[in-house]
Amino acid sequence: MLEEQVKDALNNVRPSLQADGGDVEFVSLAGDGTVSVKLTGACGHCPMSQMTLKMGIEQYLKKEIPQVTAVVGV
């Protein structure tokens, strides 16, 4: 159930990333609430990808799903 919530929340973030030629893929959810994602397309090679990951995706997921403790890129 939590994994589905994370995937749904990522779908809400996805249009913003796609507008810049990128995307995000869900990889896994650890028991401690850490979400692993992969930035693809333009986002995968962008020098600002860490900021997008932490200040964008992670903050949004934490706000929407309190069980999420961190978001890491793989």
Burial letters 45-68, b for 16+ CB under 10 A, else e:
ebeebeebbeebbbebbbeeeeeb
pTM confidence score: 0.91
Tally of structural domains, the chain: 1
CATH of the domain at 55: 3.30.300.130
Question: By residue range, what is the domain housing residue 8?
Answer: 2-73
pLDDT tens across 20-43, in order?
Answer: 899 999 999 999 999 999 999 988
Q: Which residue has the tokens 């397309």?
A: 41
Would you place residue 44 in the very low, low, confident or very high pLDDT band (cuts 50, 70, 90)? confident
